Amino acid sequence: MFTPKYPTPDTAPPPTMSAPSAGAAVPVAPTPAPVAPASNRPTVQLTAGSTLALVGGGTAVVLVVGAVLVSLLLAVVITGMSVAVVAVVLRSILNQERNR
């Protein structure tokens, strides 16, 4: 059920283009495929030093992003704790006022 179904390869002979002639049939040679021109863009050469710089840069980015995310999480936690403490203090103040 989950196996891919591949179509069967085409087994028909390739079509030949021949001009009608009175004599014998002359086989037509296939035309060569056009060759793509070479690119003028320079290729990137990775040396040991550039690879080390890339790894170091990636590590620095990961550490900085991690530090920022941890500090944001700590800010949210501290804010939540302070709101909880304020809620408890206000509740106790209101309970004392009701009991008097």
The pLDDT value recorded for residue 7 is 74
1-58, pLDDT tens digit by residue? 688 877 777 776 777 766 555 555 666 677 777 777 777 777 778 899 999 999 999 9
Distance CA 61, CA 55 (A): 10
The pLDDT value recorded for residue 39 is 74
Distance CA 26, CA 24 (A): 6
Distance CA 52, CA 54 (A): 5
Distance CA 77, CA 85 (A): 12
Please, are residues 28 and 18 in contact by the beta-carbon 8 Å criterion? Answer: yes
73 CB-side CA count, 13 A: 6
Instruction: Pull the structure tokens for residue 16.
Output: 């030949």
Q: What pTM did the predictor assign?
A: 0.47
The pLDDT value recorded for residue 83 is 98
Distance CA 88, CA 95 (A): 11
